[in-house]
Structures are given as structure tokens and as C-alpha cells.
Chain A
Amino acid sequence: MANFLKAGCKRLFQMALTLWCVFTISWLLMRHVPGGPFSSEKKLPPAIQRNIEARYHMDEPKIQQYYEQLKSTLRLDLGPSYKLEDFTVNEIIAQGFPVSVSLGVFALVFAIALGTTAGVISATARYTAWDYSFMLAATLGIALPNFVLASLAIILFVFVLDWFPAAGWGSLSQLVLPAVCLGAPYAGYIARLTRTGMLEVLGLDYIRTAYAKGLSSQRVILRHALRGAILPVVSYLGPATANILVGSVVVERVFALPGMGSHFIEAALQRDYTLSMGMILVYTLLLVSMNALVDVSYALIDPRVKPQ
């Protein structure tokens, strides 16, 4: 137990360190942009310019400004958006976050469900047509960049076959296509990992024992073998979640979903620095906490793994 606590503390410290690094890099970039937020539009009289800068602490030494902004960020106040009127960064994130997260979760669930099923079938029916076609599909899924896949899927399923609505958000049918496009490469990887893991495990003694006890092959595969074979998949889920978040930026843009990703791209293109920075921090937080979660679940599934 003490071990767990120590590992947890170390982990938390590392997460904080990462967030701080990201904050500092972004802050440095942001503050060295020529012209602040108030100098881009019309030329203000110098006295008023000074007043405004004093109001927003922009006349103070840089280190003081850094400190102030760090403090307000720690209070979870990310400030107003530079470009979107009447919105604070917090509000924009609050709007986009649920969309992005539900898209990501759907994609991940799809990837895991399809990937493990395909992997198990491939491993048990090794060297059959099933195996080959699943593995070919997996390789194809991995090599296809998700924006290529999404573009082709829109043409085929939306415009030619007219099965799904083109864009928008709200109903389940609008979620299917983006989630599938986002999840496809991960389904491919997971299928490969599951197949390799299953093939390794199926040759072990305890599987033979299970068969010898007279268990049905369905029970042996699903209860005994899969549990041992799933470990590489679990450790892959950390980076996969991270990449799904990154990928959602593109998919949201292609399908015009109102998630955080589309806001992030818009913010970057519009040079809305506060919004960009807020997005970066939220994404970093999501990423590091996902990685930590995966590590914990890894330790729970496999008793041999010691928390570090």
C-alpha cells in the first residue's frame, strides 16, 4: 500500500511538472509575439494604451506577469478569448469538451470492440481466409491517414450511398461515421496486438491444462487466454488515447463537429493566443491523466507489474 502511495505521489509530481513545462513553453511563445492583444487593431492614444496595459498588468516586469498568469491558471481561470467576443476561454472549453470526449470515447470503444474481436478470430482461425482478410484490413487501417479515410467515407457513405448525414452534432447517426474514422487505425493496431498476444498465450501450458480439464474451447479462449493476451493492448491504450485526442482535431474539422479540436484549429489560425493556450493545457491534462490511468489499470490486471 505504501508502495502504491509513493508511486501515486511520484506520478502526480510528474504530471504537474509536465503541465508546468507546457504552460511555460506556451507562455514564452505567447509573450514574444510582436504586439499584444491591444495593439493589433486601431492605434490607441498612448495614454489610453498605457492605462489598458496597466489594467491587464502588461506594464509589469515579465517575470511578474508570468507569475500572475500562472496564479490565475491555477485558479482555473484561463482568461477571455482574444477573438471571440463575449466568450471566456473557460466557456468555450465547456462547450467543446463534451463533444470531443464523447467522440473520443465512442471511437475508443469501437476500436477496442472491433480490434479484440478481429484479433481473437484471427488467432483462433490462424492461416485461414478470415485471418488473412482481417490482418490485411488491419494493415490498411493503420496505413490510411484518418483524414484520407474520413474524406473517402464522406464521399462514399454520405454523398453516394446517402446512409448518414454529412455533418452536425446531436444524434447518434451523426456520431457513427466520425467515430469509426477516428477509431479505425487503433482498431487495426489492437487487432494485431491481440492476435500476437493470443498466439503466444495459446501455446502455454495453462491453456493445455484448461483444455485437459474438459472446458469448452469458447470458455478457454474467452476466460483464460484472452486475459493473458490483453496486456499489450492495455499498455497500448495509453498512447492510443493520446493519439485519438490528436486525431479528433482533424476528424472534427472534416465532419464540422463543434468540439474542442475545431476550436483549437480556428484559434491557432486566428492567432487567438489565450484560447490556444487554454486548449493546449486542457489537452495536456487529459493526456497525462489518461496515461496515469492506464498505468494503474495495468498494475491491476497483471499482478506481476509493480507500481513504480
Chain B
Amino acid sequence: MTSSDTPHNSAPAARADSDAKRPAVGREEALRLERLLDEARSIQGVSLWQDARRRLRRNLAARLSLAFLILLGLVALLTPLLPLQSPTRQDLKRRQFERPNLRPIRLGVAEHEAKTGRLEAELAEAPAERRGELEQQLERHRESHPEYTHWNKPNAVSRWLIRVRIALFGDWCVPSLCGTDHLGRDVLARICWGARISLMVGLVATCVSLVIGVSYGAISGYLGGVVDAAMMRTVDVLYSIPFLFVVIFAITFLTEPKIKAALAQVGVDQLVIFYVLIGAIYWLTMSRVVRGQIISLKNEQFIEAARTIGASQARIVFRHLIPNTMGIVIVYLTLTIPAVMLFEAFLSFLGMGVTPPDVSWGILMNDGLQVITPIRIYWWLVLFPGLALTLSLFALNFLGDGLRDALDPRLKNR
């Protein structure tokens, strides 16, 4: 943005220079101009981003939302490292439907290691003929270490973080502050692991929609004419298609076992399909907005200049035009993320999104609602996941509104 501001700042100075060279100007006039020039130099230009940042900083709701979202992001990122209970370990006998409580819970590492020690000692003393059997037993026991059994197929990074967590906190876990569910699993841990998937879907699907929407809108706006008309009519028609229904239809079709297997061979699992499908329907508004911006920008002088020095069309669109639309794109981005997250929760709630043993907030809500009966009300199963979802959507919406106000050029310097 600073580059586009430079002409404004230097324009008066240039004019003053050419004025000063004119012989008709007297000495006093020259002094006056000198003073003007100094004054102009002393004024710092405020770029759009500086201005926006200043205005955002004054917006308390947006600031709180941003803080909350950063915190949430950190929690989601570092979930494997936090001393939470196992999100998948079931205990149908003792821990079903526990109310939120503060009773200490142990992960079972110490117990497990004690048994390992006992087995090793036994192995050391055992006669030769029992050794093979004991070694097998020890091997099996090692494989059942909490590190391998208490989490659902973590990837390499998460596995490493889990190891660090066991080394750091050992057996200690946060008590079931949010209660336990119908299988005796800790709700707090599941909410944190669910945050990872919910936020991930929000971010990735939004990026997909961003790429499609921005390129489509930019190309349409830049080329103009018949191409533009055709592309925008297509968007109009797509707008009136109720995509939720088509997507549900597409998902049932794509989760057909045979097709699922075929896709899995190519390395596409259900989550990826999900990202792409959601991203592919949320680009419409983005493309319209970007197109409008591009149309108003494409006749500016800096585009002429780029064309004069022989920049290719692709370079003009992607290097010169698109970066100048980023303000409005960011605003729409912060408003698309909650929409996408809501959509994910919605589909998961209906049983068509993320599939267990993966967890997302929508699934948690659905689980909670499934077990409600008039006799016993497990309010914590609905309240806490609902709260997590609502607070995140709340914060994202507030931040989006705040950014929109902050980046609104009509409010400049106010």
C-alpha cells in the first residue's frame, strides 16, 4: 500500500520544485514555498493499513475477539501438548455421564511403567524356557503404552507433542471440567481435539474459496466484455442453486463405499473431499466483490504504466491488480471462515460431515443431543460444545465487522 501512497506525498513537493525554478518568483515567495515544503515533509503520510490498525485498536469488541481467536488457535495447535485426558479412551463402567467435576484423573503412565518394570524384572530372573513367552508379553505390553492407545492415530507432529506432554506432565491430567460423555470420554479433551478439526476446516475451505473466488473475479473483471458477462451470468445462476442440498447429495454419493475406496487409492480421504466441496461453494460472493474492485482499478494509471513497459496480462492481474484488492478480500475472509465453520458443524451435526473417530464440534453437539432423555438431562454434553462453537463464531463475526469498519475508506482519519 505504501507504494501507491508515494505519488500523493511527493506530488506537492514536485510542484513546489518546478514553481521555485521560475524566475518570476520573488525571494519572499521562495521562502514561503520553502516553508510549505518543510511543513509537507514533516507530515507523515498515513497508509490505509496504519489507519486501519489504529481504528481496529480502538474497537474493544474486535480486540477482545482477536485475543480470543489467537488463544483458541494456540490451544488448538498445542492440544497434544496440553495435560488433557485421552479424547478417545472409553470407560463404560465407572465414568459414564460424569457431571463436570474436579476429581483428579490419572493418565495411567506410571501404572503402565510399573508393570513394565515388573515384567522386566521377571524376565531377568526367568529360566530360559519361559523367556520367549515373557518377551512376547513384554512386547505386547509396551505396545499398549498410553502413548499409542489413548489417542486416535495422531500424525508425526502430534505424536511427538504427545511424547513431550507425557515427559512433561506425566500422569497428571486436567480433571473432567466439562464432564464425560455416554462412553465415559472426557468432554474437555474432545472439545480441544474437535477445535483442531473445526478450525482446520474453516481455514482450509476458506483458502480454497479464496483462490477460486479471487482468480475468477479478477479474470472476469479484467477481461470485461463478453467474457465478463458470461462469467457473471454463470455466477448468478450458481447463486440461486441451493448448494446445501446439492452438497449433501454429493457427499452421500462420494461416501458410497466403492467410490470412497477408489478415492482413497488416489489419496483423497473424506476430509479432503469436504474441504474442496465447501470451498467450492463459498467463492461466489468473493468473486463478485473482487470483480467490482478490479473494474474500478483497471483504468488507473499504474496499470497503464505496467502495460506500457510490456507486462503480460497475467502479471498485471496477479501482480498489480489483486494485491490492491486485499483489503476487502480480508474482510470477506473473516466473514467466510465462520460461515464455513458453521456449515461444517451443520453437516457433522446431521451425520454427513466429519466421521468418527475424528471429532468436530458439530459431532459433539449431535452426540450430546442423541442421549438427552426427559429422565436425566446431560446438559454439559450440549452446553460446552455449543459454547465453544458459539464463542468462536461470535468472535469471528465481531472481528469481521471490526475489520470492515477499520478498512472502510469513508472513515479515514476518524
**Chain A stretch 8-64: residues in CB contact (< 8 A) with chain B:** 14-15, 17-18, 21-22, 25-26, 29-30, 32-35
- B94-135 to A contact mask, C-beta < 8 Å, 1/0: 000000000000000000000000000000000000000000
Could you tell me the distance between the alpha carbons of A34 and B389 in the complex, rounded to whole angstroms?
37
- Give the shortest distance, in Å, between B13 (CB) and chain A (any CB): 41
Task: Identify which of A104-112, A176-184, A197-205, A264-272 touches chain B.
Answer: A264-272
Could you tell me the distance between the alpha carbons of A218 and B377 in the complex, rounded to whole angstroms?
47
Known: A145-B346, A148-B365, A151-B382. A268 touches B252 (CB 8 A): yes
Judged by a CB distance under 8 angstroms, whether B318 is at the interface is: no
Q: Which of A18, A159, A249, A265 contacts B237 (CB 8 A)?
A: A18
Are A246 and B350 closer than 8 Å at their CB atoms? no
Enumerate chain A residues within 8 angstroms of B397, measured Cβ to Cβ. 139, 142-143
Judged by a CB distance under 8 angstroms, whether B374 is at the interface is: yes
Judged by a CB distance under 8 angstroms, whether A172 is at the interface is: no
27 contacts between A and B (CB under 8 A): A21-B241, A29-B249, A33-B253, A33-B256, A139-B397, A143-B393, A145-B342, A145-B345, A147-B345, A147-B349, A148-B386, A151-B372, A154-B369, A158-B374, A159-B372, A242-B242, A246-B242, A246-B245, A249-B350, A250-B346, A250-B350, A265-B248, A268-B249, A276-B248, A276-B249, A283-B242, A287-B242
- B209-249 to A contact mask, C-beta < 8 Å, 1/0: 00000000000000000000000000011101110111011
Enumerate chain A residues within 8 angstroms of B271, measured Cβ to Cβ. none
Are A245 and B242 closer than 8 Å at their CB atoms? yes
Judged by a CB distance under 8 angstroms, whether A113 is at the interface is: no
Which chain B residue shows the least CB distance to A18?
B240
Could you tell me the distance between the alpha carbons of A152 and B365 in the complex, rounded to whole angstroms?
10
Are B390 and A145 closer than 8 Å at their CB atoms? yes
Interface of A is mostly: helix
Judged by a CB distance under 8 angstroms, whether A291 is at the interface is: yes
**Chain B stretch 355-374: residues in CB contact (< 8 A) with chain A:** 365, 368-369, 372, 374
Known: A144-B390, A155-B379, A280-B245. A288 touches B256 (CB 8 A): no
**Chain B stretch 240-266: residues in CB contact (< 8 A) with chain A:** 240-242, 244-246, 248-253, 256, 258-259
Judged by a CB distance under 8 angstroms, whether A187 is at the interface is: no
Could you tell me the distance between the alpha carbons of A245 and B342 in the complex, rounded to whole angstroms?
16
Judged by a CB distance under 8 angstroms, whether A166 is at the interface is: yes
Are B372 and A265 closer than 8 Å at their CB atoms? no
Binding site for B on A (CB under 8 A): 14-15, 17-18, 21-22, 25-26, 29-30, 32-35, 139-140, 142-145, 147-148, 151-152, 154-155, 158-160, 166, 242, 245-246, 249-250, 253-254, 264-265, 268-269, 271, 276-277, 279-280, 283-284, 287-288, 291
Which chain A residue shows the least CB distance to B240?
A18
Enumerate chain A residues within 8 angstroms of B238, measured Cβ to Cβ. 21
Judged by a CB distance under 8 angstroms, whether B352 is at the interface is: yes
Are A250 and B349 closer than 8 Å at their CB atoms? yes
A-B contact count (CB 8 A): 122
Are B245 and A271 closer than 8 Å at their CB atoms? no
Q: Which of B236, B240, B374 contacts A287 (CB 8 A)?
A: B240
Measured as residues with beta carbon below 8 angstroms from the partner, the interface class of chain B is 35 or more
Enumerate chain A residues within 8 angstroms of B369, measured Cβ to Cβ. 147, 151, 154, 254
Are B236 and A269 closer than 8 Å at their CB atoms? no
Q: A18-B241, A139-B397, A280-B246 are in contact. List 19 more A-B contacts (CB 8 A).
A: A14-B236, A14-B237, A21-B237, A33-B253, A145-B345, A147-B346, A147-B349, A148-B365, A151-B386, A152-B386, A155-B379, A250-B349, A269-B351, A276-B248, A276-B252, A277-B249, A280-B249, A283-B245, A284-B245
Are A25 and B252 closer than 8 Å at their CB atoms? no
- Give the shortest distance, in Å, between A22 (CB) and chain B (any CB): 5
- Give the shortest distance, in Å, between B291 (CB) and chain A (any CB): 18
Which chain B residue shows the least CB distance to A142?
B397
Are A264 and B241 closer than 8 Å at their CB atoms? no
Across the A-B interface, give the 10 residue pairs with the lowest CB-CB distance, nearest first. A148-B386, A143-B394, A18-B240, A280-B245, A268-B252, A34-B258, A151-B382, A143-B393, A29-B253, A268-B248
